[in-house]
Amino acid sequence: MIFELLWRDYFRFMMKKHRNKFFLQTGIKDSSQPINKHDAKKLKTWIDGKTGSDFVDANMIELKLTGFMSNRGRQNVASYLCNDLKIDWRYGAAYFEQQLIDYDVCSNWGNWAYLAGVGNDPRGQRYFNIDKQADDYDKDRSYRKLWLNQVDI
Ligand SMILES: Cc1cc2nc3c(=O)[nH]c(=O)nc-3n(C[C@H](O)[C@H](O)[C@H](O)COP(=O)(O)OP(=O)(O)OC[C@H]3O[C@@H](n4cnc5c(N)ncnc54)[C@H](O)[C@@H]3O)c2cc1C
């Protein structure tokens, strides 16, 4: 618990230090994540939970319907947007800003920049193996079944 709260403080101090840089595509680094030409349709599949990656989709549906997503889910869907869809990470951060009931400017933009490889991570881009994560954290598929079976949104 204390460790997790330290993250929260850390992002707050980082925002105080770097200010508006956290809203640039390059974040607090000099280089940006590799991105493709912007594709609004792909972004919409991510938002609507229709990417075809069931763990990502279940999390995005939960976010859309409830305004909440677990930390594990947030990391996976952010990695998917940045590394698989190669969409500018700021679209993801802006959508979270719109949806999250626990939205916090420092934690949201700081975590997104971190996952996009333009924040406070010495290891660079965080690439999540989504299938492995789904297997590790939702082995019996009950989480995915719950959200993927919601009425069409
Ligand atoms: C892409 C992304 C965006 C996020 N956006 C937000 C946001 O807008 N608002 C927000 O409050 N949190 C954000 N988080 C952090 C984290 O996901 C949530 O705080 C967490 O889901 C809350 O669940 P919990 O209370 O069960 O946390 P626990 O894991 O039980 O942790 C206890 C407390 O520590 C803090 N905490 C834990 N992990 C983090 C973290 N990575 N960064 C900052 N604080 C943390 C929270 O206050 C949390 O309530 C984001 C994480 C990611 C990966």
pLDDT tens track for 104-117: 999 999 999 999 99
Specify the pLDDT at position 126.
Answer: 79
pLDDT at 59 over 90: yes
Q: Give the binding-site residues of ligand 1, using a 6 Å CB cut-off.
A: 1, 4-5, 7-8, 11, 70-71, 74-75, 78, 96, 100, 102-104, 107-108, 111-112, 115
Q: What is the pLDDT of residue 123?
A: 73
Angstrom distance (rounded) from CA 134 to CA 143: 9
Domains and CATH numbers, the chain: 2-148 (1.10.579.10)
Å from CA of 37 to ligand 1 middle:
30
The residues, ordered by sequence, that sit 6+ positions from 35 with a Cβ below 8 Å of its Cβ are: 25, 86, 87, 88
Pocket perturbation via mutation, ligand 1, pick of 3, 5, 8 by most ligand atoms within 8 A of CB: 8
Higher pLDDT, 25 or 126: 25
The residues, any chain, with a CB within 8 Å of residue 71's CB and separated by 6 or more, are: none
- Nearest-CA residue for ligand 1 atom 43 is 8
